[in-house]
Chains A and B, each alone.
Chain A
Amino acid sequence: MKKVFSIALGILTAIGGFVDIGDLVTNGLVGARFGLSLVWVVVVGIVGICVFAEMSGRVAAVSGRATFDLVRERLGPRVGLLNLVASMAVTLLTFTAEIGGVALALQLATSVNPYLWIPIVGAAVWIVLWRVKFSVLENAFGLVGLALIVFAVALWQLGPDWADLWRQVSRPFVPHDESHTTYFYYAVALFGAAMTPYEVFFFSSGGVEERWTDKDLGTMRANVFIGFPLGGVLSVAIAGVAAVVYLPEGVDVDSLGQIGMPVGQALGVIGIALVLLGFFAATFGAACETGLSVGYSIAQYLGWQWGKYVTPLKAARFHSVVLLSSVVAVGVLLTTVDPIMLTEYSVVFSAVALPLTYFPILVVANDRTYMGRNVNGRLANALGTAYLVVVMVAALAAIPLMIVTRAGQ
């Protein structure tokens, strides 16, 4: 019974924790401009994150090594450092965007200027990372993030033409007022949002924090293979709501408020309240995950003691990095940079950094001296290899597409 409960909790947490500011913004924006014609990318991205999260979780459970340990070990200090710098730039950018997202959600709820919220949110995130137990941190925000299910309910209530939506999903086309390059630019952005590298840093390090062993592989797989796809359904629901309300009007979405508005239209005040709660929990939870990921990765590259499973005094360098990155993120946001724009950039740069992270995981998941009988099977290897190709194409295409489309203008 306890086992069932813990698996159910893990799955619910994975669903609620799947969506972050990148998914919220990119899906809302894409839904309004391209309808559901890019849902195939979300599906490709979710299968991809499932494949690699399972691999990294399995390596962490069996060998006790988290992802950045493997990066340094297999790529050496030089390429590993290049990888660290690139991944940390993206993760720090995402961290900043998440804190900005929390501030925007609080602004929507309170009408208080977000620049007043930013330092408070930064401090609150840091306090949670400093004091709150890992399991509480992971579960609480994931569970509250489930409030985003209102997007699915709202889509139902809006009573769309389901046949038309299905046509958009099953026969993707580029809307006549959009160019092919912007279409593929947003495809890369959605892919980057679904497969952000910090997710595997956090997932594998979290496995070590919770002291997974090979006995926990079943629970881990249930989280990944049930929780992540259901979380992806929330992403699609966000795009669907935007598609139904904004696409026919030709409205461009560029704020968090616009993304949540249609839910209010469908469900009234209670809908708005749940959307705001969901926004808050999703971005705050993701801020915690990205903040920890910065510390995890740097500490793992250098071999420092890390993690919340030891007392802070035993991981002084790790906690100093987390503290410093919170300060940096708040500082960046206070320059009045637009958090939504930061988010758009962070998902595209995520796509660039993907191969650096996923290649070493794929190699080590095949190393029989570490993994014993838990090495990759045929399916994991076939999918892993296929995704390596996809990820490399996305990484190479990201920057040229960004330049050609002037970041999707």
Chain B
Amino acid sequence: MTGPRGSSEHDVVLRLLDHQIVGPSGMLLGNVDDLELVGDEGGWFVTGLMVGPAALSQRLPGLLGHWVYAVWHRLHPAEDPAPVVIPIDHVTAIGSAVHVDLAAAQALSNTFGVEIWLRRHVISRLPGAIGDADDPRSETADRARRVGSRPESLPLPARAPLDGARGVSTVVGRTVVAPDGTRAGRVSEVRCLGARSNGRQERLRARWILYTPHLTGAKLGYSVDREQGPALVRRIVRTWQRHDRIVDAELVEGLNELEGDLTVRPEARPRHPHDS
């Protein structure tokens, strides 16, 4: 299952979503709260990391999600704030953390409104916060001032979501219906292909859709690595996930809609993720 031109597979829900974002010098820059998904004639592509409360709120349950979104919207200095997206070509490595380049790191740290506010109004006023050699106060104050009068646009290369883009979380959890009309499960994973060229991560093409009758435990990783231990947990999770299926994304209808069921085309041959 390798794609053209040495592109590699990425199970984006397992390997990208909810992972720590790390800058070049090791600074921690938030989690991957969602992934930007864009569709065109060639299919669906993961084009960016969505970071921050706006993206996270879409994935929290009911009222809590609404509240987080409302609080973020109210506190944001911009008139019509947009969720923050870091384009995927600023991703330098994908491991246990997602590493981004310096430009993206600087842009991201300028979008953390609460951090900047607390730094300016609380932490820097405490005795002992000043005089730290590698953190001149002037720079902090300067940055904070800039944010206070923040222009509508995000600091480059961060940007607002593209037109027609959505979070990958709008696909995960959608009901999948088999060709005969029976409910087959819910989307648990989007397996993508993407190459790196000149040290830059190209956008990831959604190649396969995985679905499962039970979403609980879908992110544990047992559907990807059939040997992952410990044996007892593996056996239980495998039994739990025995009706999981993987299917070619092109043979799934309904992805263009934002909501509603996805239908597997009759010519598709869904199989278990372990039967490659």
A residues with CB within 8 A of B: 63-65, 69, 72-81, 130-131, 299-300, 302-306, 310-314, 316-317, 319-320, 323, 362-363, 366-370, 375-376, 381-382, 384-385, 388
Contact = CB atoms under 8 A, between A and B. Distances in A.
Contact of A64 (B97, B119, B128, B221): B97
A363 B96 contact: no
B229 A311 contact: no
10 contacts: A72-B18, A305-B27, A305-B28, A311-B134, A311-B135, A312-B132, A316-B115, A368-B227, A376-B229, A381-B229
Given A65-B96, A310-B27, A362 B219 contact: no
A131 B30 CA distance: 25
| B-side interface size class | 35 or more
Contacts of A80: 18
B213 to A, nearest CB: 17
B92 interface: no
A303 B219 contact: no
Contacts, number: 120
Given A319-B123, A363-B221, A313 B140 contact: yes
Contact of B27 (A72, A314, A382): A314
Interface string B126-139: 10110010110100
Contacts of B153: none
Nearest to B237: A363
B58 to A, nearest CB: 10
Interface string B55-70: 0100111000000000
B18 A76 contact: yes
B115 A375 contact: no
B162 interface: no
Going nearest first, the 6 A-B pairs with the smallest beta carbon separation are A303-B31, A381-B230, A316-B119, A63-B96, A303-B30, A311-B132
A316 B123 contact: yes
Nearest to A63: B96
Contacts of B29: 303, 305
Given A63-B95, A369-B15, 14 more contacts: A72-B31, A74-B221, A75-B219, A77-B59, A78-B60, A78-B61, A310-B27, A311-B132, A312-B132, A313-B124, A317-B114, A320-B122, A366-B228, A368-B225
Interface of B: 15, 18-21, 27-31, 33, 51, 56, 59-61, 95-97, 112, 114-116, 118-119, 122-124, 126, 128-129, 132, 134-135, 137, 140, 216, 219-221, 225, 227-233
Contact of A313 (B60, B119, B220): B119
Contacts of B128: 130-131, 312
Contact of A376 (B123, B132, B230): B230
A319 B135 CA distance: 16
Nearest to B30: A303
Contact of B219 (A73, A312, A381): A73
Contacts of A385: 230-233
A128 to B, nearest CB: 12
Contact of B19 (A73, A304, A366, A381): A73
Nearest to B116: A316
A75 B218 CA distance: 8
A297 B233 CA distance: 25
B142 to A, nearest CB: 13
B98 to A, nearest CB: 10
Contact of A362 (B60, B126, B134, B230): B230
Contacts of A313: 119, 123-124, 129, 132, 135, 137, 140
Contact of A366 (B15, B56, B230): B230
A320 B97 contact: no
B216 to A, nearest CB: 8
